[in-house]
Amino acid sequence: MTDEAKTGGKNVVIAMDGSEHSKYAFKWFVDNCRKEDDHVYIVHAVETNEMFTSQQFSSPYSFDPDVLASILKKEKERVTQELQQYAALLTESGVNGTVKSVHTTIPGEGIVKCAAELDAAIIVTGCRGLGKIRRTLIGSTSDYILHHAHVPVVICRHPH
């Protein structure tokens, strides 16, 4: 469904990474907050390595271009398969929505930027439940979204 065909509901971004935590966040939204005229955007942030996104890079190692091309092709196929699964999830749940992927070096940043571009009213995301030390050292996508989004953020913690 295009934006022009929407009936006036809010745009909702649900961050999905294929984990059980993100699937729980989607189900939680559908069961607790969803309105019939909402338009849900399932956004999958594909984490890209800065080294491979720049035009030139220097490395003390050499890369076989065919091996690198094969790795990138397999990754593209994996992402395409995930996006198809998200589309099926929307259909199975009877949710009006669109699946999008964003390529970014920082997943939280990609989600926040996409939500702003889509004029989202809310962002829903899962939470892996990292401890304070791990979250401090490696960061947390949900933490980034919470602190950088300009719209309300719902972080759904999967029950253990």
- Strand bridging mode 153-157 / 122-127: parallel
* Euclidean distance between CA atoms 18 and 2, whole angstroms: 25
Give all domains of the chain, ordered by start, each with its CATH number.
8-52+98-160 (3.40.50.620)
Structure tokens at 107: 């997943």
* Among 105, 109, 122, 123, residue whose Cα is nearest residue 50: 105
pLDDT digits (tens, 9 = 90+) for 76-87: 888 889 899 999
The reported pTM is 0.78
pLDDT digits (tens, 9 = 90+) for 89-101: 999 999 999 999 9
